[in-house]
Amino acid sequence: MTHVSPRRTYYLVFLALMVLTAVTTGVAYLDLGPFNTVVALAIAFLKAGLVVAFFMHVMHLTNLSKLFAVGALVWMVILIALTVSDYWTRQWGVPAQGW
Amino acid sequence: MNELPLFPPQASTMSAEVDNLFFYITAVAAFFTVAIYICLGVFAVLYRRRDPRFVPRPILGSTILETTWSVVPLGLAMVMFGWGAKLYYDQYTPPENAHEIFVIGKQWMWKTQHPSGQREINELHVPVGRPIKLTMATQDVIHSFYIPAFRIKRDVIPGTYTSMWFTATKPGRYRLFCAEYCGTSHSGMIGWVTVMEPGDFENWLSGGASESMAQSGEKLFSQYGCASCHSNDQPGRCPPFRGVYGSTQQLTDGRRILADDAYIRESILNPQAKIVAGYQPIMPTYQGQISEEDLLRLLAYIKSIGQRPQPASEGIAEGPARGTMGATPAPREATTNPQAPTKTGRPPR
Amino acid sequence: MRIASQPTYAEKVPINYLNAEHGLKSWLLTVDHKRIAILYLLSVTAFFLVGGLFALLIRLELLTPQGDLVRSDVYNRLFTMHGIVMIFFFLIPSIPAVLGNFIIPIMLGARDLAFPKLNLLSWYLYMIGGILTLYAVLAGGVGTGWTFYTPYSTVYSNSHVMVTAIGVFITGFSSILTGLNFIVTTHTMRAPGLTWSRMPLFMWSLYATSLIQVLGTPVLAIAILLVGIERLWGVGIFNPALGGDPVLFQHLFWFYSHPAVYIMVLPAFGVISELIQNFSKKRIFGYKFVAGASVAIAVYGFLVWGHHMFTTTQSVYAGMIFSFLSFFIAIPSAIKVFNWTATLYQGSISYQTPMLYAIGFIGLFVIGGLTGLYLATMGVDIHVHDTYFVVAHFHFIMVGGSVLAYLGGIHYWWPKISGKMYPDGWGRFSALVVFVGFNLTFLPQFILGYLGMPRRYHAYPEEFWVLNVFSTAGASILGVGYFLPLVYLIWSWFYGPEAPANPWQARGLEWQVPSPPPTTNFPAPPLVTQETYEYSLEEAEVV
Amino acid sequence: MSETLTHSQHGTSPLQHQFDDLGQQWHANTIGMWLFLATEILFFGGLFVSYLVYRSTYPEAFAEASRHMDVLAGTVNTAVLIGSSLMMALAVQSAQLGANKLVQRFTLLTMFLGTVFLVIKVWEYYHKYTEQLIPGANFAYEGAMRHQVEMLFVFYFVMTGMHALHMFIGLGLLTYILILARRNAFSREYFFPAEVVGLYWHFVDLVWIFLFPLLYLIGAHYQGPVHK
Ligand code: HEA
Ligand code: HEA
Ligand code: CUA
Ligand SMILES: [Cu+2]
């Protein structure tokens, strides 16, 4: 029911996380237009992925726990997507005088 | 206690349409209700327990039946959706020639003002047969402007303009309610809508107000010191207003935006949010200093000197709302970026 | 050591969960799911009476068009407190926390829930939240509507919003923890042989309910927290004067509160599935569809919340998406209704009290659900939004549906819970009274709504008078209908005849243990070899 | 170090009465924690979606506000928290091996780094106070988009405040693990309290991984409103 990872893995993951932190801070000072946000989020997701995969041992979980983890993310996407479907379409194709 | 109406009067072009849809749904609902009740009743009698030891034969189910009673209701429901969405869309698309009336909700009354200057409280006079567009604002909490006889209702949300439109079809007096809970006297925020023959309406309009909304707006314009900067025609430190309303404004950050009600409102309350190209951000904010009523008058004034027909499709495009939250604050952005994908007309994000 | 429980085991045992220990402390510190269920039963009933009292005052005020019984401020607090108490403190915990708590572990063949201490903590959180809310009532009440819409709730209302918000916030965590407990229990505590496809339908529906509780309630918590922060520190989150958007609050609120209506109705579905089968001695028609529909409702339920916001500044397109999806949610509900009806076909139906409630439920839920279709239709909702049509819609589902199912479930499992039988004649009579009173109260409200009577009105125009009188008359009858079970159930607790282990010849592990069950439920984990609803088998063979 | 299922210092079995065996108990505890984390994700999700709505509405104001964040403190804190996550992972690993001494050491290190994080956080808050950037209470920023700028600070305080609250709860749970380790409770069979608390602690770390760029970094390259 359990999997013990070698310490080395943890140290490597830690190193990767630190490097990514440095990168994300560094990149923030370059003006990439809208890509600043994209890069920042991409790195954040990468880091999150590392934590979940190695520190939280998601790979060695039962399918059920994986399902809950994924489910929570899906629900988060529902929350965001449908809310944003309102805010980002409020301007669409409304007649000239506004309504 | 001797009145017992069971159905509301139909007094706008929308009433009959909403009622027809209502009858359609009622027919579907009645069909299923009756069908289920009959089954329940018949089974209840036929299969009542006679012998306590009798064990009925189990029936596991039937995929064909399950599919039927999923697909058929869904089909009927999709008609409701399509029909309802169409009515809704129509309701939010005022005709071009609609006559505009301004409405302000506050705890706990409705104030209305006609462009020609007449003001009313908890009353609204409109002519029969002419599309009327209400532009609505609130000074405090959310209210909701509701005329049951017209089958229309629209929330009035602070911080933005909302609007709705209708064409009354029958002269008479109809109830006007506030439908969104707004505090102590929510139930007292009611009034009457009076629909008149066009001739009577003209008479009614001509009696009363001494100055039009645009005229009062013009006075306010100097009163609030706007005139110290802005003039109608000479460009100087400030943009002139001739032709502004309804045009597309070029902003310093490259966006182009349609100057509609919400844009004008924002330009006054939060001028720094969108700076017109070629000008400095020197305009002071008037947030909290101008009442909603005066704002509407200023708007009427700026409209009166600025209205210019807007070509229907001019590459007007959309983007995420910036600076304003509401629906009217629909400051739409136009694509200036030549290499932007233009198929949908949306600027790249 | 696994034995199939012997039929003799179902006979009376001298020591059961009720008399195993004595004293107040043995109740307040218990971790036994059955005792915690009793704690919930008592508190939920108390809150129902409080909420019902408010309802009675509302109806009395509306007996005349003028607002002459109470001041408008008081009236506003009445319906607010009525809504808050009924929803958060009565209906949401009712079936899951009372019946679910009692029955789930036994149905699954377990000794207790997976986390008994957490279960007790849930009850305490619920009580703390409830007492804070009651404190708010006594201190003068809260008058924002149960929906807490901003900016009224954050900037304008001078009632006790903070205390109530904290109360609801805390109760939310009770709900989350209960849901979590049930899900884990369902996954890990099932008796050997009790596969998912053999699981009772009550379990399926509570499982689906718990998913909603776990995934939806935190968003309510955060929405309420933001309201509290905005109100306390006067910062701008939803306040338009400070750059916020009041409609964002509505998004967050309904992201929880629409799924929450399924928290209130799914457990009812589960109860009805049990009742229909056991009182017609017939396995459900289309087990897989009925079970799957519960989960489908839990999932779809999260996709439709914007249908409460058609008249706001919500974009037309988002509105269309939400409307479109709202119709899909009708399908799993339809599947349930049709399958229940089909189950009766060629059954052997007996009309004891629980079954009367079950049939009443179907009849009223159908009307309540179908009127939801009017509301999901955008063009019509523009007219009936925030009118009594909506009030009638949700009372049909929540009172005509869920409350009836709750009463049906209480009557059904009462012999198990109390070990006593109640007088069935009185039971059937009061079920009838409830049904009549209910229809008289809420049917006229549909007409009122389409006529245009707005909800949350303290006084109303004269032309709505007659229908309101009907409604108030109905509410009084309804009150009597609720009062009767209160009396005879309490009576039976003390004086009723002893109940056998399985008074209804029903199926399900809970009927295999004595009434009332011993503290550990089963002497050893039972082995399940059959699906739950095998009426043709002799009882002894079932386990 | 204890090997047997039923062993602990006090002679009572770690197996709780409602479970049949430790495997079942482990399973229940792990999925319980994952479910709880699902709840937590949606709890923060409500905040994130509000943030998203306002940021996409007021991009400039948010960038402007973000320039007032202390990027250095934020970066250091990120590193500190990741470090504490590493210690946590090592503590869990030690528990899996039944090495109670190591569990104690790593748990203490985790708690130490967690505390450092909170101290830096408080220090940051204090600076916001002296710079008069606390919304509602003393917000002295007087630029053009005052309210919109203030909005990001509201989110800053609510989000980091909620995060800090979770850290406090985490510290409490770690204390519990410390006590268990001192009692030599962990063994190769019975280690899941550490594992479950570890999941929680890593989750808190995860939240911060998103908060950091979203709050601190969006203004780093921003030069103020463009006025050509
Ligand atoms: C338990 C509670 C519960 C349940 C289960 C439901 C179920 C449904 N509700 Fe309801 N609703 C509420 C409680 C509930 N509601 C509350 C409390 C409010 C008001 C909140 C407030 O503002 O205070 C509300 C408000 C509300 C609104 C907003 C109204 C407004 O404010 O303007 C809408 C709009 O779409 C709606 C729709 C629906 C729909 C489509 C369903 C569907 O799930 C119903 C599905 C069921 C059926 C359809 C019946 C069975 C099917 C058949 C017999 C087959 C035939 C079917 C077809 C032809 C499709 N509800
Ligand atoms: C579970 C939910 C639930 C339940 C069970 C009920 C039950 C009832 N409700 Fe409720 N109602 C809501 C949920 C519920 N309601 C909600 C959410 C709202 C919206 C609130 C808002 O707008 O914010 C609402 C609003 C609402 C209104 C609209 C108010 C308005 O908009 O102005 C009305 C009006 O008739 C009403 C009536 C009733 C009646 C007559 C009952 C009856 O079924 C109640 C019958 C019960 C009794 C009559 C009590 C019996 C008790 C005794 C006899 C004992 C006496 C008491 C003591 C000894 C302490 N309700
Ligand atoms: Cu204004 Cu209700
Ligand atoms: Cu809903």
Helix boundaries (H) for chain D = 22-57, 59-66, 71-96, 100-130, 146-182, 192-211
Tokens (6 digits) for B327: 């629906």
Sign of CA dihedral C287, C290, C292, C295: negative
d(Cα C159, Cα C143) in Å, to the nearest integer?
Answer: 6
d(Cα C411, Cα C421) in Å, to the nearest integer?
Answer: 9
Lowest mean pLDDT among B345-349, C57-61, D209-213: B345-349
pLDDT at residue A98 greater than cutoff 90 = no
User: From the CA of B228, how far away is ligand 2's center (Å)?
Assistant: 59
**Residue among D75, D78, D221 minimizing CB distance to A31:** D221
Q: Are the CB atoms for C54 and C78 separated by under 8 Å?
A: yes
* pLDDT on residue D6: 37
Strand partners, B103: B112, B136
d(Cα C508, Cα C502) in Å, to the nearest integer?
Answer: 10
**Residue among B37, B77, B158 minimizing CB distance to C240:** B158
d(Cα A41, Cα D210) in Å, to the nearest integer?
Answer: 8
Is there a cis peptide before residue B108, judged by omega within 30 degrees of 0? Answer: yes
C251 vs chain A: nearest CA distance in angstroms?
A: 7
- C-alpha angle with apex C336: C333 to C342, nearest 5 degrees? 145
* pLDDT on residue B273: 72
Residue nearest to atom 32 of ligand 2 (CA): C456
CB atoms inside a 10 Å sphere around CB B67: 11
User: From the CA of B144, how far away is ligand 3's center (Å)?
Assistant: 6
ipTM, two decimals, is 0.91
Give the residue from A16, C325, C452 showing the smallest Cα distance to B151.
C452
CA distances from D166 to B114, C72, C343, D159 (A): 56, 43, 50, 11
- Maximum C-alpha span of chain B: 99
* pLDDT on residue C178: 96
Low-confidence residues of chain C: pLDDT under 50 = 1-8, 539-543
Backbone φ and ψ for D105, nearest 5 degrees, come out as -60, -50
Candidates B24, B28, B32: which one to mutate for ligand 1, based on the most atoms within 8 Å of Cβ? B32
Strand partners, B174: B193
* pLDDT on residue B333: 35
Length of chain B (residues): 349
**CB pairs < 8 Å spanning C and D:** 106
A86 vs chain C: nearest CA distance in angstroms?
A: 5
CA distances from C302 to A76, C194, C251, C258 (A): 11, 30, 12, 7
B252 in contact with chain D, both atoms CB, cutoff 8 A = yes
DSSP 3-state of C428: helix
In chain B, the percentage of residues whose pLDDT exceeds 90 is 42
User: From the CA of C65, how far away is ligand 2's center (Å)?
Assistant: 19
CB under 5 Å of ion ligand 4: residues: C 258
Of all residues in chain B, the one with the smallest CA distance to D52 is B320
DSSP 3-state of B84: helix
CB atoms C316 and B88 under 8 Å:
yes
* Disruptive mutation site among D35, D62, D64 for chain C (greatest number of C CBs within 10 Å): D35
Backbone φ and ψ for B138, nearest 5 degrees, come out as -130, 145
pLDDT at residue B315 greater than cutoff 90 = no
The more confident residue out of B347 and B206 is B206
Q: What ligand is nearest to the CA atom of residue C254?
A: 4
Q: Are the CB atoms for D110 and D174 separated by under 8 Å?
A: yes
Q: For C281, left (φ over 0), alpha (ψ -120 to 50), or beta?
A: left
Q: Are the CB atoms for B21 and B87 separated by under 8 Å?
A: yes
Relative to beta strand B119-121, strand B143-147 is unpaired
* pLDDT on residue B306: 66
User: From the CA of C394, how far away is ligand 4's center (Å)?
Assistant: 10
Tokens (6 digits) for D63: 């960038």
pLDDT at residue B83 greater than cutoff 50 = yes
* pLDDT on residue C39: 96
- Maximum C-alpha span of chain C: 74
The DSSP call for residue C527 is: -
Nearest atom in ligand 3 to the alpha carbon of residue B108 is 1
DSSP 3-state of B137: strand
B182 vs chain C: nearest CA distance in angstroms?
A: 7
Which residues 6+ apart lie within 8 Å of C519 measured at CB?
A: C15, C16, C17, C20, C32, C34
Lowest mean pLDDT among B24-33, B86-95, C260-269: B86-95
Is there a cis peptide before residue C497, judged by omega within 30 degrees of 0? Answer: no
CB atoms C184 and D35 under 8 Å:
yes
d(Cα C185, Cα C194) in Å, to the nearest integer?
Answer: 13
d(Cα A70, Cα A68) in Å, to the nearest integer?
Answer: 5
SS3 content of chain C, % helix, strand, coil (to 5): 70, 0, 30
Of all residues in chain B, the one with the smallest CA distance to D224 is B253
Q: Are the CB atoms for C448 and C380 separated by under 8 Å?
A: no
Is C336 near ligand 1, meaning CB less than 6 Å away? no
Lowest mean pLDDT among C12-16, D99-103, D178-182: C12-16
User: From the CA of C309, how far away is ligand 1's center (Å)?
Assistant: 14
Q: Is D74 exposed, middle or buried (0-12, 13-18, 19+ CB in 10 A)?
A: buried
D165 in contact with chain C, both atoms CB, cutoff 8 A = no
Q: Name residue, tokens 């460009």.
A: B235
Angle between helical axes of C316-344 and B13-46 (0-180°, round to 10): 20
CB atoms A14 and D86 under 8 Å:
yes
C240 in contact with chain D, both atoms CB, cutoff 8 A = no
Q: What ligand is nearest to the CA atom of residue C455?
A: 2
Which residues 6+ apart lie within 8 Å of D208 measured at CB?
A: D77, D78, D81, D163
Is there a cis peptide before residue B240, judged by omega within 30 degrees of 0? Answer: no
| Helix H or strand E encompassing B119 | strand B119-121
Relative to beta strand B119-121, strand B109-113 is antiparallel
D145 vs chain B: nearest CA distance in angstroms?
A: 7
Average per-residue pLDDT in chain C?
Answer: 91
CB atoms D31 and C184 under 8 Å:
yes
A3 vs chain C: nearest CA distance in angstroms?
A: 20
* pLDDT on residue B111: 92
Residue nearest to atom 1 of ligand 3 (CA): B143
CB atoms B190 and C335 under 8 Å:
no
A90 in contact with chain B, both atoms CB, cutoff 8 A = yes
**Residue among A64, A79, A87 minimizing CB distance to C255:** A79
User: From the CA of B28, how far away is ligand 4's center (Å)?
Assistant: 21
CB atoms A97 and B349 under 8 Å:
no
In chain B, the percentage of residues whose pLDDT exceeds 70 is 84
Give the residue from C250, C252, C268 showing the smallest Cα distance to C205.
C268
Is C381 near ligand 1, meaning CB less than 6 Å away? yes
Give the residue from B66, B202, B224, B225 showing the smallest Cα distance to B128.
B202
Backbone φ and ψ for B324, nearest 5 degrees, come out as -130, 155
- C-alpha angle with apex B49: B47 to B55, nearest 5 degrees? 90
Is C399 near ligand 1, meaning CB less than 6 Å away? no
pLDDT at residue B340 greater than cutoff 60 = no
User: From the CA of B81, how far away is ligand 1's center (Å)?
Assistant: 14
CA distances from C454 to B157, C110, C244 (A): 18, 50, 27
pLDDT at residue B336 greater than cutoff 70 = no
User: From the CA of C259, how far away is ligand 4's center (Å)?
Assistant: 7
Encoded amino acid at B242, one letter: R
C101 in contact with chain D, both atoms CB, cutoff 8 A = no
* pLDDT on residue A92: 67
- The confidence band for D56, taking pLDDT boundaries of 50, 70 and 90, is confident
Average per-residue pLDDT in chain D?
Answer: 86
CB atoms D213 and A52 under 8 Å:
no
Strand partners, B99: B132
Neighbours of chain A (3+ CB pairs under 8 A): B, C, D
Give the residue from C522, C260, C219 showing the smallest Cα distance to C394.
C260
CB atoms B318 and A92 under 8 Å:
yes
Q: Name residue, tokens 């969006």.
A: D218
- The confidence band for B307, taking pLDDT boundaries of 50, 70 and 90, is low
d(Cα D17, Cα D10) in Å, to the nearest integer?
Answer: 17
Tokens (6 digits) for C235: 């910062």
pTM, two decimal places: 0.91
d(Cα C194, Cα C108) in Å, to the nearest integer?
Answer: 7
d(Cα D163, Cα C101) in Å, to the nearest integer?
Answer: 33
d(Cα C60, Cα C471) in Å, to the nearest integer?
Answer: 10
* pLDDT on residue B254: 66
The DSSP call for residue D134 is: E
A52 in contact with chain D, both atoms CB, cutoff 8 A = yes
CA distances from D45 to A56, A58, C233, C328, D185 (A): 20, 21, 22, 25, 36
Relative to beta strand B99-106, strand B131-138 is parallel
**Residue among A79, A86, A89 minimizing CB distance to C219:** A79
Encoded amino acid at C542, one letter: V
Is C371 near ligand 1, meaning CB less than 6 Å away? no
D18 vs chain B: nearest CA distance in angstroms?
A: 35
Average per-residue pLDDT in chain B?
Answer: 81
- The confidence band for B131, taking pLDDT boundaries of 50, 70 and 90, is very high
Q: Give residue-wise pLDDT tens across range A33-78.
A: 778 888 999 999 999 999 998 999 887 778 888 888 899 999 999 9
